[in-house]
Chains A and B, each alone.
Chain A
Amino acid sequence: KAGVTQTPRYLIKTRGQQVTLSCSPISGHRSVSWYQQTPGQGLQFLFEYFSETQRNKGNFPGRFSGRQFSNSRSEMNVSTLELGDSALYLCASSQDRGGETQYFGPGTRLLVL
Chain B
Amino acid sequence: GQNIDQPTEMTATEGAIVQINCTYQTSGFNGLFWYQQHAGEAPTFLSYNVLDGLEEKGRFSSFLSRSKGYSYLLLKELQMKDSASYLCAVRAVDDKIIFGKGTRLHILP
Binding site for B on A (CB under 8 A): 33, 35, 41-45, 48, 55-56, 58, 90, 97-98, 100-107
Contact = CB atoms under 8 A, between A and B. Distances in A.
Given A100-B31, A106-B42, A42 B102 contact: yes
Nearest to B4: A42
Contact of A98 (B30, B44, B45): B30
Q: How large is the interface on B (under 10, 10 to 19, 20 to 34, 35 or more residues)?
A: 20 to 34
Contacts of B96: 45, 48, 56, 58
A74 B42 CA distance: 18
A42 B95 CA distance: 19
29 contacts: A33-B97, A41-B101, A42-B87, A42-B99, A42-B101, A43-B43, A43-B87, A43-B89, A43-B99, A43-B102, A44-B99, A45-B99, A48-B95, A48-B96, A56-B94, A90-B42, A98-B30, A100-B31, A100-B48, A101-B45, A101-B48, A102-B33, A102-B97, A104-B35, A104-B43, A104-B44, A105-B42, A106-B41, A107-B42
Nearest to A103: B45
Nearest to A91: B42
Q: Which 8 A-B pairs have the closest CB atoms?
A: A42-B101, A43-B99, A104-B42, A100-B48, A101-B45, A104-B43, A98-B95, A56-B96
